[in-house]
Amino acid sequence: MDPFFVVGVLVCAMAAVLCLGAALLRQPPNDVTILSTAAVELFLLAYAVGAVVRQVTGEPVLGEAWEFWGYLLTALLVPVAAFWWAILDKSRWSNIVLAAAGITVFVMLFRMEQIWAGEAGL
């Protein structure tokens, strides 16, 4: 299993748990929930750099490359959109949106790993 994937799962899970916990405690978005979502975005940026390096050094995407890069570009937008939602809406429901961003990025990351390794890769 790819170390990038393992780190991504941990970062996304941490962000989702923190944001869901804050929502259950009826808290508005705060530094912890917003920074946990920022950690997801930072991970995705590192993942993108790693993917570029891997591909440039000769490790091919075994699935459709356009699909992989499309997932990655879309995944990069998800935490940003959730962040803006949380900034504009200070209700506890924004923490649900932030948690959904972490879960969504996890699912997209899982699919990106399948595409990179081929359909039967995981």
d(CA 48, CA 57): 14
Supply the Cα-derived Rg of the chain in whole angstroms: 15
| Residue range 39-60, pLDDT digits in tens | 999 999 999 999 999 999 998 8
Domain encompassing residue 65: 3-117
Number of domains into which the chain is organized: 1
pTM passes above 0.85: yes
Q: At what angle do helices 31-56 and 65-88 cross, to 10 degrees?
A: 160
Domain contains 122 = no
Residue 1 has pLDDT above 80, yes or no: no
Domain contains 12 = yes
The predicted pLDDT at position 117 comes to: 87
The predicted pLDDT at position 55 comes to: 92
Domain contains 56 = yes
Q: SS3 of 36, please?
A: helix
Query: CB of 13 within 8 A of CB of 110?
Result: no
